[in-house]
Amino acid sequence: MTGPDFSGMRQAMDRITSIHRRIYGTPSVPKETFEEELAKAAKTKETSATSVIKPEVPISGKASVLRSRLSPGDNDLNSAIEEISSRYGVDEKLVRSVISVESAWRPDAVSPKGAMGLMQLMPGTARMLAVDPKDPVQNVEGGVKYLAQLSEKYSGDLEKTLAAYNAGPGRVDKYGGIPPFKETEAYVKKVLKLYNG
């Protein structure tokens, strides 16, 4: 019997390290391999994959999630949004508009339905996109990737893309456009107003 296969996790960690190097210029997990970090976590009974990587800045105060995940400086999140938007071919202004409406730029935002972070990813959507919704950069990456997928599905139709982001593609498909829900209708209008403003 062989041990567990961490190849998928290794690929994800390699991708995260690559993004981290582009944004910050240093590896996210210096010197030790991913397997060594997992072994250490198992010994200390840490089960969360995110607990393996310790924050660079101590957590202190409200909205400290952002400070704990990103290195200090006002441009870190902006740089990440710019790089991620460019990589997925999604207009950076649209991403910023969605973040404004979804979470008002609060990385620790949690909706009554359980959506989390800057781009308010549902736990199932975050799993599907292979991101940690509590990490601001991964949350943005997941949200932008999802917007790109929806935009492709709806041939660039921005209203359908935004409605699907809010209400789910099943409902958009069922109604052939923006579903007749006040929340979704208002959401699409707010995002478009910011985006076009």
| Catalytic, out of 92, 102, 152, 183 | 102
Task: Quickly tell me which residue has 């929806």 as its tokens.
Answer: 150
**Dihedral, CA of residue 163, residue 168, residue 95 and residue 155, to nearest 10:** -70
Q: Is 35 a catalytic residue?
A: no
Q: What are the backbone angles phi and psi of residue 116, rounded to the nearest 5°?
A: -125, 150
Cβ distance 188 to 178 under 8 Å?
Answer: yes
Token code pair at residue 102: 């979804």
Question: Which residues make Cβ contacts (< 8 Å) with residue 12, sequence separation at least 6?
Answer: 130
Distance CA 20, CA 18 (A): 5
Distance CA 159, CA 154 (A): 9
Cβ distance 191 to 183 under 8 Å?
Answer: no
Active site residues: 102
